[in-house]
Amino acid sequence: RKEVEQDPGPFNVPEGATVAFNCTYSNSASQSFFWYRQDCRKEPKLLMSVYSSGNEDGRFTAQLNRASQYISLLIRDSKLSDSATYLCVVGPLNSGGYQKVTFGTGTKLQVIP
């Protein structure tokens, strides 16, 4: 089983729709969770961290479910500019004091006019 698994998509949604992605992780000791966004042929950029209590940033909501070992990303009122690949990132606390995070393969979102 992969450490971090995502549905690769693509998710094709109309503008204005709400879309949600899930990501499952295998290491129960994982302590840090993030969503990164990667545009085509560009580098990944941090979208948001995921906190235990769930957190929201504008149209984006992230949730963590430790019992079932998954995180989710909800995008409301989708915009054309949201079209990208969304990478789930999970990190256990490394004994050396740094986090060697693991990236999922990404979920591709295409927002259609």
Partner 1 sequence: GAGVSQSPRYKVAKRGQDVALRCDPISGHVSLFWYQQALGQGPEFLTYFQNEAQLDKSGLPSDRFFAERPEGSVSTLKIQRTQQEDSAVYLCASSLARGLRTGGDNSPLHFGNGTRLTVT
Q: Which residues make up the interface to partner 1 (CB under 8 A)?
A: 4, 8, 32, 34, 42-46, 48-49, 87, 89, 91, 93-94, 96-106
From the list 103, 51, 107, the residue with the least C-alpha distance to 75 is 107
Q: Is 30 left (phi over 0), alpha (psi -120 to 50) or beta?
A: beta
Q: Which is nearer to partner 1, 19 or 36 (CB)?
A: 36
Nearer to partner 1, 75 or 104 (CB): 104
As a whole number of angstroms, the distance between CA 80 and CA 109 comes to 10
CB of 10 to partner 1, least distance (A): 11
- What is the C-alpha radius of gyration for the chain, rounded to an integer number of angstroms? 14
Supply the minimum distance, in Å, between the C-beta of residue 113 and partner 1.
25
